[in-house]
Amino acid sequence: MSTSTPAAMSTSTPTAVRTAVVPARAAWSSVIRAGQTLTITDLHGNQAVDFLVYDAHDTSVRYSAPDTIQAQGTIFLTTGSALMSNEHSPLMTVVDDEVGRHDTLGGACSKESNTLRYGHHTWSQHACVDNFLAEGARYGLGKRDLVSNINWYMNVPVEKDGTLGIVDGISAPGLKLTLRAERDVLVLVSNCPQINNPCNGFEPTAVQMTIQAAAPGDAA
């Protein structure tokens, strides 16, 4: 397992390593090296991006929602938020955010949850859990490796009685967020296919992933 310390921020312009447009409803994954950044761009607005992250060298070390919430002191993520592992160590840090609030509680849609919430006629609809399982299998990950995920751009307010809502997003076309890898990490993404609630404006759309190298002078 990597024991690298968080990379220092730099004003130099990093170099693009890889850019990919993830189609509506599709999955995506990549290893992000320590010090590199991943920028997620909401190309058309109001599109939820389900996200999991693991230590690339030891996938038993993975994103932990409870550790992350405890470390930040809030259920929402934005600039400065550290994505903590189940060992309470940082995996990635949000270094820039043009939206201002992202969800840690809503979880990933599945055939089972769709059926429970929206009716048995939704059983055949593709879901984020399907994307995570298919993409994770490329790295030897299975159902037991799926944990509570982050939902970038998803608007999940918490009411005074503790109930969660899934409402229209607060993003807009072209808005983006950037994460810095604090060690070598494996990222899994499901570009959410949900069409039964407003998290994608009832019409899933494409997003863009851009990996950039650490800028000159950054220390990983």
Q: What is the pLDDT of residues 97-123, one digit of tens each?
A: 999 999 999 999 988 988 888 898 988
Q: What span, in angstroms and rounded, lies between the C-alpha atoms of 19 and 170? A: 24
Residues 6+ apart with CB under 8 A from 197: 117, 166
**Confidence category of residue 213, pLDDT binned at 50, 70, 90:** very high
Decide if 46 is inside a domain.
yes
**Confidence category of residue 220, pLDDT binned at 50, 70, 90:** very low
Decide if 2 is inside a domain.
no
Cβ atoms of 8 and 218 closer than 8 Å: yes
**Confidence category of residue 6, pLDDT binned at 50, 70, 90:** very low
Which two tokens mark 124?
């055949």
Which two tokens mark 146?
């799926």
Q: What is the pLDDT of residues 10-57, one digit of tens each?
A: 445 667 889 999 999 999 999 999 999 999 999 999 999 999 999 999
Q: What is the pLDDT of residues 46-85, one digit of tens each?
A: 999 999 999 999 999 999 999 999 999 999 999 999 999 9
Decide if 9 is inside a domain.
no
Decide if 22 is inside a domain.
yes
Exposed / middle / buried, residue 11 (Cβ in 10 Å: 0-12, 13-18, 19+):
exposed
HSE-CB at 25 with a 13 A cutoff on CA atoms is: 10
Q: What is the pLDDT of residues 173-187, one digit of tens each?
A: 999 999 999 999 999
Decide if 3 is inside a domain.
no
- Residue 56's CB is within 10 A of a number of other CB atoms, namely 22
Place of tokens 């070390």: 61
pLDDT of residue 218: 58
**Domain extent at residue 176:** 16-212
Decide if 42 is inside a domain.
yes
Q: What span, in angstroms and rounded, lies between the C-alpha atoms of 31 and 214? A: 14
Q: What span, in angstroms and rounded, lies between the C-alpha atoms of 167 and 197? A: 8
Decide if 10 is inside a domain.
no
Residues 6+ apart with CB under 8 A from 139: 29, 59, 186
Decide if 6 is inside a domain.
no
∠ CA(16), CA(22), CA(24), 5° rounding?
155
Q: What span, in angstroms and rounded, lies between the C-alpha atoms of 96 and 79? A: 5
- Residue 98's CB is within 10 A of a number of other CB atoms, namely 15
Domains in the chain, number: 1
Prediction pTM value: 0.88
Collapsing DSSP to helix, strand or coil, 106 comes out as coil
